[in-house]
Every structure is written in C-alpha cells, then in structure tokens.
Structure 1
Amino acid sequence: MRLLKPATLLALTLATPIVAAPAPKIAATSFAQLKTPLPLPYDEAANARAQIAAARARAKAGHKFLLVDLGGNWCLDCRILAGTMDLPALHSFLARHYEIVTVDVGRFDKNMDIAAHYGLDGHFGGGVPSVLIIDPRTDTLRNAGRTAALADARTLTPQALADWLAQWTR
C-alpha cells in the first residue's frame, strides 16, 4: 500500500467536491427561456476586494461557500450564466449554499490580483466566466483546475449549469 504525502492528500481533499445537496430541478430546458435581455451582472465601478471581504465574512458566519464569478458584461457566456443563476429554483438554491460575488475583470485588465490570489493568471486557463468556489474558513479554492468549466456556458443546458454549481455545496 502506497501512502500519500500530506501535501498531496491535502491537495486532493481540497479539490474534491462536497456533494451534500442535490441540484434543484430547472424548468427551463433551453436558454431561450431565460429573461431577456440577459442581465449585465458585473458592476464595473465596484470595489471587488471589499465585496469579496464582506461576502467571505457572511459565508463564514452562514457556513456557506463563497462563489466568486469572474467575468465581464461583454461576455455572452457570463450573461447566460447570470441569467441561469437568476432562475427562481436555482436562485433560491444558491442563496442557501453560497454567498455570491460578481467581479468585473474588464478585458482581462481589472481585478487580476483577485484571480492571482487563487492561483489563476492570464485568461484563467479557459476564459470567462471563471467561477471560484472558496472555503471562507481557510480562503482556499475548492475547485482548483475547474474554474473555467463554465466558460462555454452557452453549450450547456440550464440543468447542467445547476448540476455543476450544486456539486460544490455543503
């Protein structure tokens, strides 16, 4: 039997999703059923660091994960993700399990220090939206290597997006 080094074991533990809550059933079967126009979720004038700090404190107190959505209003996939997250069934589910912060990254020229803090650089290895699932107790990234999984949100169904977001709940 081969024993894992403590650092390897910790890395595997942090990257393993915690599946405690099943994904809600989403009535919308296509993005054509989302509200139009799609939302513009990223406040270009927001103080992202202050928003993250406040959300992290709420997440810690509420025993939730922190979900940081990095993107821009120019990005169709970002807007589709936001519109899907606004669907009533998914919105209430997310509110129970996450504190959510949207962070405008401009054209990959704003708030890049936030991405770098969690080990992301450049175009985040796949573009935007990049979704960071953070354990607020330790400020560690739970979905390392999978932050850009929703960068092609338009190719997924609303249910597939809900399923992906649900896999990281407590």
Structure 2
Amino acid sequence: MKRNIKIIGALGFLLAGNLVFAQTETKVEKPENDKSLLVKTDHKELDAEAKKKVAAEEKAKLPKPYDAKANAEKDIQALIAKAKKENKNIMIQAGGNWCIWCLRFNQYVQTTPELKKLVDDNYVYYHLNWSPDNKNEKIFAKYGNPGDKLGYPVFIVLDKNGKQIHTQDSAVLEDGKGYGLEKVKTFFNSWKPKS
C-alpha cells in the first residue's frame, strides 16, 4: 500500500511538473514524426502580443484627426491668417493616425472640457500628419524635424505670425497610460498668447 501511495505521489508530482513545464514549453513535431521536440515559448512575447491586440482595439475606437492627403504647407498658411485675425497662437500636434499616443492626446483634450476650452480660447489647432503616405518632409524640416528627436506626438507652437516659439516633447505630459491634467494645462497655459 505504501508503495502504491509513493507511486501515486510520484505520478502526481510528475503530472504537476508537466503542467508547469507545459506552460513554458510547446511541442513541435519533427517532419518525420519520429520524436517531439520541445521549444521554449517566451511569455514576454505572448504578453507583448496581448498588449498589441488591446492597443489595436483601443486605436480602432479613437477618432482619427490626421489627414495624410492634406496640403500641410497651405493649411498652415491659412492657420497663420486665422491666428492673426483671432489673436491666437498656433498649436501643431505632429503625429499620425498610426500613433496611439497621438490619438489618446487628441481624445483627452477633446473630452476634457477644461482643456478643450483652454485650447479653443488660445490656439488655432492643427494635426500635422507624418506617415509613410505623407511624411510632410518640407514642413518638418522647417521646424527642425522634432519627431526624429522626440518621437510622436510632438508639439510645435507658433505665434500668430507663424514664428516657431516652442517645441514640446509629449513624454513629459504623460501620466501612466494617458496624460496628466495638470501637466497638460501647464503646457497649454505656458504658450498661450501674451495679452
């Protein structure tokens, strides 16, 4: 009886070990089915894939404010005329619809009444597209190619005459998986037109 208990205990131990082992390894059949080959599966890859899926689902739900077909040079000239008329500065949010942080920022500002009012009262806002379809190289070069150095989104602030007065890295505005209200308010308040 003791021997049966030891065998059952040993089998239970082996089964438990195989369950743990099965979680970290996957069987791959050799072409001739002569033996199975164990290949380690990286759980970080699975986590990364799950995160990508969640991010893709989130991105699909967010508004897409960037227009790859827009003539940015012409649009910005029109914004300068509007900014002069309304005595506002120009806020250029550079990025693309491929960039989840760009879309999150846009959504955050548009759905946070305090921020939306601050932007609407002080800025003419523009989403400058950077994508494989339209890199807007001439415009980005004019502003020092900030996306190359800082990533996206990146903010380019112009005065009402179109003079570049500030470039802002968006990473300092982040808070967790989103943006911090006080950080974003401080940024917008710092570059609004001086009365």
Q: State TM-score, norm by structure 1.
A: 0.68
Partner of 1:43: 67
Cα deviation, residue 77, structure 1 = 1.0
Q: Could you tell me which residue of structure 1 aligns to residue 26 of structure 2? A: none
Q: CA deviation at 1:78?
A: 0.4
Matches within 5 A, 1:108-123: 110-120=135-145, 123=147
Check 1:151–1:105 CA distance in 2 against 1; reply closer, same or farther (3 A cut). farther
Q: Mark the CA change 1:163 to 1:108 in structure 2 (over 3 Å): closer, same or farther.
A: farther
Query: Corresponding residue for 1:71?
Result: 95
Query: Which residue in the other structure is 2:123 paired with?
Result: 98
Offset at residue 107 of structure 1 (A): 4.2
Paired AA for residue 68 in structure 1 = I
Tell me which amino acid in the other structure corresponds to 1:116.
A
Note the alpha carbon deviations across 1:23-62, whole angstroms, 9 max, x for none: xxxxxxxxxxxxx932211112222122111111100111
Alpha-carbon deviations, 1:52-103, whole Å to 9, x = none?
Answer: 1111110011111111111011111101110122022211221110001111
Percent identical among aligned pairs is: 26
Q: Which runs of 5+ in 2 are unaligned?
A: 1-59
Residue equivalent to 2:52:
none
Trace 1:1-170 onto structure 2 (pairs within 5 A): 37-86=61-110, 87-107=112-132, 110-120=135-145, 123-137=147-161, 139-143=162-166, 146-147=167-168, 149-151=169-171, 154-155=174-175, 156-170=179-193
Q: Which residues of structure 1 form unaligned runs of 5+?
A: 1-35
CA distance in 2, matches of 1:151, 1:80: 13
CA distance in 2 between partners of 1:57 and 1:74 (Å): 30
Structure with the bigger percentage of strand: 2
Give the number of equivalent residue pairs: 130
Q: Which has the higher contact order (CA 8 A, sep 6+)?
A: 1
Task: Quote the offset at 1:164 in angstroms.
Answer: 1.3
Partner SS for 1:125: helix
Q: Could you tell me whether the CA contact under 8 Å between 2:143 and 2:164 is conserved in 1?
A: yes
Give the secondary-structure state (helix, strand or coil) at the position aligned to 1:132: strand
Give the structure-2-normalised TM-score.
Answer: 0.60
Cα RMSD, aligned residues only: 2.2
Q: Which amino acid aligns with 2:142?
A: H
- Residue 160 of structure 1 deviates from its aligned partner by 1.7
SS in 2 for 1:83: helix
Are the counterparts in 2 of residues 124 and 130 from structure 1 also a CA contact under 8 Å?
A: no
Contact 1:55 1:99 in 2 (8 A): yes
Greater share of helix residues, 1 or 2? 2
Which residue identity does 1:96 align to in structure 2? D
